[in-house]
A and B are shown apart, each in its own frame.
Chain A
Amino acid sequence: MHSRSNSHLAADASAVRAPLHKIPRWVKVFGVIAAIAIAAFIVDHLAGGGMRHIGHGNMVTMPYEQDQHTR
């Protein structure tokens, strides 16, 4: 019981010492994963991936839209 309250005191003391705005580890891990994903996305687009299939002004009218226009 006594040791438990001591550990609580120790935890409180460390909480006081720790800066309030310290970035949690999970946020840092997220940041690294996001950076890798963004880099992969940019490389894919620069390497000719992305939306190379779509030419400018190459919109296709769908059959159900053609029906709407003819009505």
Chain B
Amino acid sequence: MTLTRDFRRIVLTAHVLASIGWVGIVLGFLAMAIAGEVSRDVQLVRASYVAMDLIYRSVVVPLGLASLITGLISSLGTDWGLFRHYWIVVKLLLTFPAVGLMLVHLQPVAYAAGVASTTLWGDDFAGLRLQLVAYAVAALVVLLTATGLSIYKPRGRTMYRARTIGGAQ
């Protein structure tokens, strides 16, 4: 399946926008997670976790899914393929778990927002606050690595690619 030039450009534009938007919103999420962790202002802490839950569900998750879907279409619909180059395989191996963990963490983020907005929090909540900072940092590292791979496109063709070249000759 090969995409037409126009459709390929539309999908690539959507992929770049979704991916860069995803990085940006994770940075914002990290800023709020750090504010929630270190601030002594109770109002700020409460507001941070409520906002984190809202942007997580309304922006982070949709952008993550959009980035994954447009990336899959973009690679499958062009000569790049999905398993022909190591940098694409590595990107896929980074993005799939990142999206999975992002969906799994819908509940902890909602829980943190609920606790912060309704009750006084204890030691258990302190652990969750630190965990949210750690996961945001990990997500940022993964997304920046994937962005770097897309830009530099390090060399290396997979065994699958070598086999298809051999078959063609």
Q: Which residues of A contact B (CB under 8 A)?
A: 19-21, 23-24, 26-27, 30, 34, 37, 49, 51-54, 58-64
What distance in Å separates the Cβ of A66 from its nearest Cβ neighbour in chain B? 10
Q: Is B158 an interface residue (CB 8 A)?
A: yes
Known: A23-B156, A53-B131, A54-B111. 5 other contacts (CB 8 A): A20-B166, A21-B157, A21-B162, A27-B156, A60-B111
Q: A24 with B113: in contact, given A30-B90, A51-B108, A54-B108 (CB under 8 Å)?
A: no
B interface residues with partner A (beta carbon < 8 Å): 50, 53-54, 86, 90, 93, 104, 107-108, 110-111, 113-115, 117-118, 124-125, 127-128, 131, 138, 154-159, 161-163, 165-166
A19–B138 Cα gap in the complex (Å)? 35
Task: Specify which chain B residues have a CB less than 8 angstroms from the CB of A60 in the assembled complex.
Answer: 110-111, 113-115, 118
Q: Would you call B107 and A27 a contact (CB within 8 A)?
A: no
Number of A-B contacts (CB under 8 A): 65
Structural contact, A24 and B156, CB atoms closer than 8 A: yes
The residues of B that contact A61 with a CB separation of less than 8 Å are 114
Q: How far is the CA of A53 from the CA of B161 in the complex (A)?
A: 45
The answer on a CB contact under 8 Å between B128 and A53 is yes
CB-defined contacts of B163 to chain A, threshold 8 Å: 21
B2 to chain A, nearest CB (A): 23
Q: Least Cβ distance of A64 to chain B in Å? A: 8
- Min CB gap A20→B, angstroms: 4
- Distance between Cα atoms of A62 and B54 in the complex (Å): 10
Chain A residue nearest in CB terms to B159: A21
Q: How far is the CB of A35 from chain B (nearest CB, A)?
A: 12
Which residue of A23, A26, A53, A62 is within 8 Å of B125 (Cβ)? A53
What residue in chain B is nearest A55 (Cβ atoms)?
A: B111
CA distance A30 to B155 in the complex (A): 14
With contact pairs A23-B86, A24-B86, A60-B118 given, residues A34 and B93 touching in the complex (Cβ less than 8 Å): yes
Cβ–Cβ < 8 Å partners of A37 in chain B: 138
A59 in contact with B117 given A21-B162, A23-B86, A53-B128 (CB within 8 Å): no
Q: Are A20 and B165 in contact (CB under 8 A)?
A: yes
